[in-house]
Chains A and B, each alone.
Chain A
């Protein structure tokens, strides 16, 4: 074991310690004799593939689930949190990946939820408003305390979630991929906050797949694999390649594949498209077969909305969408799908998957009307099962049990189920909207290979992404969106961070 596993000063117990903690689910040992310690005033990154046990581990620390065996110590004292509430009252606060905000309430109501300031039994509304203003100002979040959370973007909802964690008395702060839907600027604010609480002696447990954040924040890194503790290292002692090797247990090559471009006929052509909501204003784009086109831009720039409108999810009030030479403006997703247009939504929980149904069913939802699954009005369940097994093998679903409910799988594997769905019928245009949100490096590489394979097989492929490296490394051509318009179109040769970033903020390329 390295020196990093021991507390810095031998006499003082760590802030939080896990000793041989295991969690057994039926058929799965999700966490297997985990050891972990957290010092006051450090950022401790948990690093591992999806399904490695990170989520289970923080669920145990935050009181959401109970360990099957092992001990949890806080400042040397044995501790058992029966609920998230109890953990929170001890200063252990978690910002979960899944939001715990109430959509129908305002930002300030959410901030004070469960611990409202009162005066004589009544809500001290003015005081809470002042406090809400103060918290948001301190965090540098540009949010209106009176705004209804449901109307906020995903990134803004995340900010509410984070602001709430910073409200309460903290000793341990757990952040589970907090930047997944934040812009770089918002993420920088968050990093500054993490520094701030760190200086106050708070221990921060931080889960991320992004190397940039590990470099920026981490003091120590604990690597998990298959539910087991692999090692704890000082961040300064380890390189990125070593981390990936520790995480996957093997040497991983470059995660971005080299995708050959072979542009052919124009598959999708959008002219002067304007949506009823005003999210897209007179945009033109063309997508050709055998080519991977990246759509880049900030959240709300129209990069996602234009393809959603083309797929019939937003109403267009002017302009045309032409698919394979036919006008398909404002047609239903159902007809577009049958015409060979596949759109993969960014949020698999909200728009992608029926979580309580099996992987098999989720894979075949889009192809119940065609062979081999359809047999007249009936479903050929034998062929359906065979198809699901074939796709599970192809995408390396883990565990290889397509008959189990989607909710029993880790995030990366859920994403694979969603990808599999687009393989169940003939498709000539694939649109992937944020295909790798909350997905580990290993699965991410698999997804890129998958997307590249489709493109090289002659399909037209669009990748919509807020993750700039994805656009830089995958796209043969890129459109950058700003304020509902196409700010610029860049050929492969001109795609670089320096040329794209200014366009994000409405500037023109030099």
Chain B
């Protein structure tokens, strides 16, 4: 044939860039950008001390995001994590100070019991979420939104809106500010939970069920997976993890506060989405979510050092979240493009 044809070799560089983007997501790009921008803006940013600080501050968000990720994997989401944090904080402080008064000789036991009560109260919220979503088919949005109002009201009612003091000093000293092998105690807890979450998600039947339910709930049902139990469990796990974060935060603040955690739902979902967790369910990796949580704290820390107004910081976090969702959409388009 005499017709000339455009070069028949494909463009490998563009394709492999696309593929890289599809595989790793937007997070590495964002992390790199943040590191460059903030080290230019402030000399103190890229120091060992500051970065350790960032890791320590990331603990709460990282733990909460682990739970949020698992819920997102099933195709739901948990808007009540902020409330669970507040309720745990308040109930931990109230019960621990009561136990401390009741058994002044056994303060370690009082501390332990207080922590258990706090985590149990937080988990109870998750159980209610799970019952609503799994058994009654309430949409996760409404169920967790409703519970966040109920929990927040309850926490305020219990405390009258004022911080709760009177916990044993050891609580804050060891759990909040203590360290082991020069690494702060909360970081140890976070590392343990991250490992546990990694194993749960990747190596257990429960973890696989999360992906199956989020990937295609009908297919999961027909494959003999207990979809209701899976949904119920995931909200309890999310609440449990958030409860642990709540106890750690209470120890750090040395008081029970009803108004902590209000930014948690947004930040934890942002951490997950930036880390490539799909809002449609079925896609997401633990290790990336931890990086996502670190990234958000890195940005906040960088903005603090650069003396960016705290109100404007909120604006930036919202913009990053939306940018991440947009990039998720673009990535999905590429996935469709790359598909045979």
Interface residues of A (CB under 8 A from B): 19-20, 22, 24-26, 28, 30, 33, 51, 56, 65, 68-71, 311, 313, 333-334, 336-338, 343, 345, 350-357, 361-362, 364-366, 368-369, 374, 377-379, 381, 407-410, 421
Bound Cα distance A230, B62 (Å): 56
- A337 near B6 with CB under 8 A, answer no
- B223 near A337 with CB under 8 A, answer yes
Partner of A71 from the list B5, B7, B211, B225 (CB cut-off 8 Å) is B5
**Chain B, residue nearest A56 (CB):** B340
Q: A345-B222, A381-B203, A409-B340 given as contacts; is B209 within 8 A of A368 (CB)? A: yes
**Chain A, residue nearest B227 (CB):** A334
User: Chain A contact residues: over half helix, strand or loop, or mixed?
Assistant: mixed
Residue numbers in B under 8 Å from A345 (CB-CB): 218-219, 222
Partner of B225 from the list A311, A334, A355 (CB cut-off 8 Å) is A334
5 A-B pairs in the complex with CB atoms less than 8 angstroms apart: A69-B10, A351-B216, A357-B215, A366-B224, A377-B205
Cβ-based interface call for B317 (8 A): no
**Chain A, residue nearest B16 (CB):** A26
Partner of B282 from the list A65, A354, A365 (CB cut-off 8 Å) is A354
Bound Cα distance A33, B216 (Å): 37
Residue numbers in A under 8 Å from B222 (CB-CB): 311, 313, 333, 343, 345, 351-352
Cβ-based interface call for B278 (8 A): yes
Q: A28-B340, A333-B221, A366-B224 given as contacts; is B6 within 8 A of A69 (CB)? A: yes
Known: A357-B282, A408-B338, A408-B340. 11 other contacts (CB 8 A): A19-B1, A25-B338, A71-B3, A71-B6, A345-B218, A345-B222, A352-B222, A355-B215, A377-B204, A381-B202, A410-B340
Bound Cα distance A502, B222 (Å): 34
Residues 1-60 (chain B) with a chain A CB within 8 angstroms: 1, 3, 5-11, 15-16, 19
The smallest beta-carbon distance between B188 and chain A, in angstroms, is 24
- B203 near A70 with CB under 8 A, answer no
Residue numbers in B under 8 Å from A364 (CB-CB): 208
Residue numbers in A under 8 Å from B338 (CB-CB): 25-26, 408
- B283 near A356 with CB under 8 A, answer yes
The smallest beta-carbon distance between B273 and chain A, in angstroms, is 16
Residue numbers in A under 8 Å from B215 (CB-CB): 354-357
Q: A71-B5, A368-B209 given as contacts; is B224 within 8 A of A333 (CB)? A: yes
Residue numbers in A under 8 Å from B335 (CB-CB): 407
Cβ-based interface call for B105 (8 A): no
Residue numbers in A under 8 Å from B206 (CB-CB): 377
Bound Cα distance A311, B224 (Å): 11
The smallest beta-carbon distance between B225 and chain A, in angstroms, is 6
Contact count A vs B, C-beta below 8 Å: 125
**Chain A, residue nearest B22 (CB):** A26
The 6 closest A-B pairs by CB, nearest first: A354-B215, A24-B10, A337-B224, A365-B223, A366-B223, A334-B224
**Chain A, residue nearest B337 (CB):** A65
The smallest beta-carbon distance between B288 and chain A, in angstroms, is 16
- B282 near A378 with CB under 8 A, answer no
- A365 near B15 with CB under 8 A, answer no
- A356 near B5 with CB under 8 A, answer no
In this complex, how many residues of chain B approach chain A with their Cβ under 8 Å: the count is 43
Bound Cα distance A115, B226 (Å): 44
- B5 near A352 with CB under 8 A, answer no
Bound Cα distance A56, B340 (Å): 8
Cβ-based interface call for B212 (8 A): yes
The smallest beta-carbon distance between A49 and chain B, in angstroms, is 13
Contact indicator per residue, chain B 300-340, by CB within 8 Å of chain A (1) or not (0) = 00000000000000000000000000000000000101111
Q: A33-B8, A408-B340 given as contacts; is B203 within 8 A of A421 (CB)? A: no
Bound Cα distance A364, B205 (Å): 11
- A70 near B219 with CB under 8 A, answer no
Bound Cα distance A51, B214 (Å): 27
Residue numbers in B under 8 Å from A25 (CB-CB): 337-340
- B212 near A354 with CB under 8 A, answer yes
**Chain A, residue nearest B216 (CB):** A354
- B339 near A365 with CB under 8 A, answer no
Partner of B6 from the list A26, A70, A377 (CB cut-off 8 Å) is A70
Residue numbers in B under 8 Å from A356 (CB-CB): 215, 278, 282-283
Residue numbers in A under 8 Å from B253 (CB-CB): none
Cβ-based interface call for B154 (8 A): no
Residue numbers in B under 8 Å from A56 (CB-CB): 340
Residue numbers in B under 8 Å from A369 (CB-CB): 205, 224
- A354 near B219 with CB under 8 A, answer yes
**Chain A, residue nearest B283 (CB):** A356
Cβ-based interface call for B220 (8 A): yes
Residue numbers in B under 8 Å from A361 (CB-CB): 208, 211-212
- A353 near B216 with CB under 8 A, answer yes
The smallest beta-carbon distance between B70 and chain A, in angstroms, is 16
- B211 near A352 with CB under 8 A, answer no
Bound Cα distance A24, B223 (Å): 35
Partner of A365 from the list B1, B19, B225, B283 (CB cut-off 8 Å) is B225
The smallest beta-carbon distance between B266 and chain A, in angstroms, is 25
**Chain B, residue nearest A20 (CB):** B5
The smallest beta-carbon distance between B333 and chain A, in angstroms, is 11
Bound Cα distance A286, B212 (Å): 33
- A379 near B211 with CB under 8 A, answer no
The smallest beta-carbon distance between B2 and chain A, in angstroms, is 11
Partner of A379 from the list B5, B203, B220 (CB cut-off 8 Å) is B203
Bound Cα distance A33, B10 (Å): 12
Residue numbers in B under 8 Å from A353 (CB-CB): 216, 219
- A26 near B19 with CB under 8 A, answer yes
- A351 near B218 with CB under 8 A, answer yes
Bound Cα distance A336, B224 (Å): 8
- A368 near B219 with CB under 8 A, answer no
Residue numbers in A under 8 Å from B214 (CB-CB): 354
Bound Cα distance A407, B283 (Å): 13
Residue numbers in B under 8 Å from A355 (CB-CB): 215-216
The smallest beta-carbon distance between B172 and chain A, in angstroms, is 36
- A365 near B212 with CB under 8 A, answer yes
The smallest beta-carbon distance between B281 and chain A, in angstroms, is 9
**Chain A, residue nearest B214 (CB):** A354
Bound Cα distance A362, B215 (Å): 10
Highest count of chain A CB atoms <10 Å: which of B7, B206, B224, B337: B224
Residue numbers in B under 8 Å from A410 (CB-CB): 340
Residue numbers in B under 8 Å from A68 (CB-CB): 8, 10-11
- B211 near A357 with CB under 8 A, answer yes
Residue numbers in B under 8 Å from A28 (CB-CB): 340
- A24 near B211 with CB under 8 A, answer no
- A354 near B211 with CB under 8 A, answer yes
